[in-house]
Amino acid sequence: MARISPLSDGGIRLSLTITLLLALAAQVAAQSASEMRRVDTIGTAAVKSSNTAAARQAAIDNGLVAAVDTALSELVAREVVVRNFQLLNQSIYNAPNRFIQDFKVLAESTGSGVYRVALQANVAVPKLNQALAGLGIMLSSQRVPRVLLLIHETNSEAYVSALPQGDRPRAHVSRRAMADSLAARGLAVIGSDQALQRPLSDAEAVDIARQRGADMVVVGASVADIAANTMGTELKSFTATVDLRALQSTDGAQVGALRRSAVKASADWASGSAAAQAQAGTLGADGLASAIIDTWQQGAVARERIIVDVEGIGGQVAAFVKFRGQLQEIAGVQAMQIEEMTPDTARLSAEYQGSSRSLAEALMERRYQGFGINIYAVDAAGMKVQLVAE
């Protein structure tokens, strides 16, 4: 009867294969469980006109809203929820049943004009993720993309010639409004106070974005103008128009493009024009946010497959399994595979929205237990990593 020595290459491969299969099974089970969030909550409603049936249903409905809110708070930072509360209220809180897989009433009680129910609900997390992406709201668990704003802001000749003597138009209004709107969606905005002397081409904008370390760049123009509508000498109409394009810094691919305009009436030139510019900027940013976030999350454009060559696996199989888990947890990493394997080395590949350099930096920021890593080579195609025993 053949006997495999624990120290033989065959024995190492067999042990490694079993360990990896067990790790893969655990990851699949964890992924399935992560698709549902079980929430225990309490719903309350007032009993009106002795109608306990209606109060019970209202208490259940309120409990389901609370369950969805609990799951939502784990996906999105609370300040982002507050900033976008009206939007979330209309699309999510007003229709909680869209996100409830099932629920059961654990207990219920009535007294002092109040009906209460204790609920246990299973919230469908993927449906929440999909709804948030459609609203242009970034998940807090993901690496937030850095968005650079390169907006050329000007005033029309008609606006400048009609401007009362001594008045000066406010600067950077559209750009700052855009920055506030994108930040409210959970994006990291840079360059909101950078003034441009002229419009930039897409190639110029992408080059600057790469230099600044931005993942996306919004480039375009904002023009303030004065409209013909007036009401005597009291009110004048002010307009503003933004033409915007969102590009990826990796390859310059266009994520979205739009034009938005706004009109505001005011007796004051400065405040009226600023209000129009701010609204146009907000409308433009709101329109691009969903496209930026959807592209970032789905990796529909410029998601590269990066090779990670790992050395030092021999005698450190557990460390290799942990390293794979850490790599998989990095935001933006998808479809990780083992391409090749020997007793001491492995070649991994994964889709990643970003460069090999940014992935290497993300790996360096992870905390490893019982071992360390040495990334000794990085190029456009991937990197070489050595597992180092502590």
3-state helix, strand, coil in the chain (%, to 5): 40, 35, 25
Least reliable range by pLDDT among 143-147, 230-234, 263-267, 287-291: 230-234
The answer to whether 237 touches 228, Cβ cutoff 8 Å, is yes
Digit-coded pLDDT (tens) for 207-221: 888 888 788 899 999
* pLDDT at residue number 146: 84
Least reliable range by pLDDT among 92-106, 108-122, 171-185, 299-313: 299-313
The answer to whether 119 touches 104, Cβ cutoff 8 Å, is yes
Token pair listed for 84? 């976008």
* pLDDT at residue number 341: 86
The answer to whether 151 touches 221, Cβ cutoff 8 Å, is yes
- Per-residue pLDDT at 57 exceeds 90: yes
**Gap between the Cα atoms of 62 and 245, Å rounded:** 42
Confidence of residue 169 (pLDDT cuts 50, 70, 90): low
What are the phi and psi torsion angles at 366 (to 5°)? -80, 155
Write down how long the chain is. Answer: 390
- Per-residue pLDDT at 378 exceeds 60: yes
- For residue 235, give Cα distances in angstroms to 54, 231, 266, 275, 318: 52, 5, 5, 14, 73
* pLDDT at residue number 230: 61
Q: Which amino acid is at 133?
A: A
**Gap between the Cα atoms of 24 and 20, Å rounded:** 6
Highest mean pLDDT among 141-145, 345-349, 355-359: 345-349
Token pair listed for 235? 């009110």
pTM: 0.54
Q: Which amino acid is at 359?
A: L
CA atoms within 13 A on the CB side of 9: 5
Task: Name the H helices within the chain.
Answer: 9-34, 52-73, 78-83, 85-88, 125-135, 157-162, 173-184, 202-212, 269-298, 317-329, 356-364
Among 263, 264, 183, 175, smallest CA distance to 222 is for 175
Digit-coded pLDDT (tens) for 247-292: 988 778 899 999 999 998 887 777 888 899 999 999 999 999 988 8
- Per-residue pLDDT at 24 exceeds 60: no
Give percent of the chain above pLDDT 70. Answer: 83
Collapse the DSSP code of 65 into the 3-class scheme (helix H, G, I; strand E, B; otherwise coil) and give the result: helix
- Per-residue pLDDT at 143 exceeds 60: yes
Q: Name all domains of the chain by residue range, CATH numbers in brackets.
A: 35-135 (3.30.1660.40), 146-298 (3.40.50), 304-389 (3.30.70)
Across-strand partners of 154?
223
Q: What is the mean pLDDT of the chain?
A: 83
